[in-house]
Amino acid sequence: MQGWGPQRHSNGGNNSRAIAMIAAITGNVGISGGGTGAREGVGGVPFATPTAIPCFPEKNTVGVCVSFFDWYQAIEDYTVMNDATWGIRAIDETGVTSYAEEPGTLKLKAPIKFIWNYGSNVMMGQHADINDSLRIYNLPDEKDSGVRMIVTVDPWMTPTAMASDIILPGTTPFEEDDLTTGGTAWTGFICCESKAIEPLFEAKPVYEICTLLADALGIKDEFTEGKTQLDWVEWCYNEGKVAGDDLPDTFEEFRAAGLIKQTDDHEPAIAAPEGPLATPSGKYEVFSKQAYNLSRQWDLTGGGYVPDDGRDQITGLPIWYENFEGYGDPLREEYPFQLIGHHTKTRTHSSYGNVPWMSSVAPQQCWINEGDAATLGIKQDDTVIVSTERGRSQMTAKVTNRIMPGVVSVPQGAWYDPETRDGATIGDPSVLDLGGCISVLTSSRPTPISKGNGVHSNLCKIEKA
């Protein structure tokens, strides 16, 4: 079981393929105690109740999608984005994606000119290379590049909110009615969230914000279908009952109960594919002819936006190669440490990154091996600056033997806090981030085959502040 970490580096696609291949060639698929080589199963007994409402489903005429990691390219230059350069895929009305039949024919048809950012700090916290992101967000508004407006809806003044043109104060979950489902192991749950207080100050639920906008556009009735937010929560509940969920007879009973669980006690499941795999042969493929063909058909420079240095490869076999900012990169002469990130116990991604009490429990610290720290003259809790080619970030040191020599790790999700000084331009890599934000340091270069997140591949240096 590979978890959700080995793929997040610049040869992460082959790493994931290799782990799955080991499971297959050693006969561990379909047996008790074995696995498919994918991440662990989380189980759960799901409720069918929807947690989202249909909004103009017939109005979406965009038949393609881009990688969540590479959407910024559609701001800078959408004209180079197709299936053979940036992994553009077709998307049908059910949300299923597919590659083009002929490489290079599936293209992005328009740039991103407007961003509606709801309850998210991805743009300035969870995405890579904040300094380059700032450059892209501030490109001049021209025909084929430059975003015109960024609107953020959030209860908190996040770094993303500070980079937005308009900030709309949203509500917390305590100030609105909603419905959530989830579960793990052999238990599933559905929760009716009832607001505890009325929204404070001028904050509004996002549904009300969208209703006001729809009214200004003259489409309020079409958007709301005559329903309030609570009406839509009840609609979701009733849709679940139609789908066969075992729920109380009435919505009022459900709302009074608040939380409903269901458990299915059964024997542990054995991981095994049902029927043919989604490969051309329908079998596990040690050598992938499909990947080999892509290596001949795709432009791994992204239309000229990714360096043509041979450090991106698509291979028929899941092999190791000298990948971008990996162990054999000559850049190690200047930046000798491999920088990775990890999740910390006081945040959920960047949520709670603005709570001083949480930071006092577990401050933002760079993990460094005892031997490396001794060589650099760094002691526990010393203030250090971690630098890559892309930026500089300040935090304290956690000196420990629980990390490999030559590797350092910075907890992801800390809030970006650029130094303000005379002559400093926010977005310049020389500007020091005082928040210990790893996204100042990571690379936005996508992985070659999935066009995904390779942010565990970073070469850095460390020095005492």
| CATH at residue 214 | 3.40.50.740
Q: Percent of the chain having pLDDT more than 70? A: 99
Q: Are residues 90 and 218 in the same domain?
A: yes
- Strand order across the beta sheet in which 178-184 lies: 178-184, 187-193, 259-263
pLDDT surpasses 90 at 271: no
Residue found under tokens 């700090």: 121
Q: Are residues 276 and 368 in the same domain?
A: no
Q: Are residues 123 and 219 in the same domain?
A: yes
Helix 229-242 and helix 206-216: axis angle, to 10°? Answer: 110
What pLDDT score does 409 carry? Answer: 98
pLDDT bracket for residue 389 (50, 70, 90): very high
Most trustworthy range by pLDDT among 208-217, 258-267, 319-328: 208-217
- The number of domains in the chain is 3
Q: Are residues 284 and 251 in the same domain?
A: no
What pLDDT score does 266 carry? Answer: 72
What pLDDT score does 335 carry? Answer: 98
Q: How far apart are the first and last CA of the chain?
A: 40
pLDDT surpasses 70 at 211: yes
What pLDDT score does 274 carry? Answer: 81
Mean of pLDDT values over 378-386: 98
What pLDDT score does 137 carry? Answer: 94
Q: Is residue 49 part of a domain?
A: no
pLDDT surpasses 70 at 440: yes
Q: Are residues 190 and 68 in the same domain?
A: yes
Q: What is the mean pLDDT of the chain?
A: 93
Q: Is residue 219 part of a domain?
A: yes
pLDDT surpasses 90 at 420: no
pLDDT bracket for residue 75 (50, 70, 90): very high
pLDDT surpasses 80 at 230: yes
Q: Is residue 428 part of a domain?
A: yes
pLDDT bracket for residue 287 (50, 70, 90): very high
Task: Name, in order, each residue with C-beta under 8 angstroms of 52's C-beta and a sequence gap of 6 or more.
Answer: none
Q: Are residues 160 and 84 in the same domain?
A: yes
What pLDDT score does 150 carry? Answer: 97
Mean of pLDDT values over 12-36: 92
Mean of pLDDT values over 221-241: 95
Collect contacts of 50-55 with beta carbons under 8 A, ≥24 apart.
50/236, 50/239, 50/240, 51/179, 51/180, 51/181, 51/236, 53/232, 53/235, 53/236, 55/223
Other beta carbons within 10 angstroms of residue 244's beta carbon come to 9
Domain boundary among 264, 280, 302: 264
pLDDT tens digit string along 112-151?
999 999 999 999 998 999 999 999 999 998 888 899 999 9
Mean of pLDDT values over 386-397: 98
What pLDDT score does 2 carry? Answer: 87
Q: Is residue 324 part of a domain?
A: no
Mean of pLDDT values over 321-337: 94
What's the CATH code of the domain at 370? 2.40.40.20
Q: Are residues 127 and 188 in the same domain?
A: yes
pTM for the full predicted model: 0.92
Q: Are residues 125 and 257 in the same domain?
A: yes
Q: Are residues 15 and 123 in the same domain?
A: no
Q: Are residues 212 and 115 in the same domain?
A: yes
pLDDT surpasses 70 at 346: yes
pLDDT bracket for residue 94 (50, 70, 90): confident
pLDDT bracket for residue 307 (50, 70, 90): very high
pLDDT surpasses 70 at 57: no
CA 100 to chain centre: 24
Mean of pLDDT values over 432-460: 96
Q: Are residues 201 and 335 in the same domain?
A: no
Q: Which domain holds residue 299?
A: 1-41+272-317
Q: Are residues 386 and 427 in the same domain?
A: yes
Q: Percent of the chain having pLDDT more than 90? A: 81
What pLDDT score does 44 carry? Answer: 76
What pLDDT score does 40 carry? Answer: 77
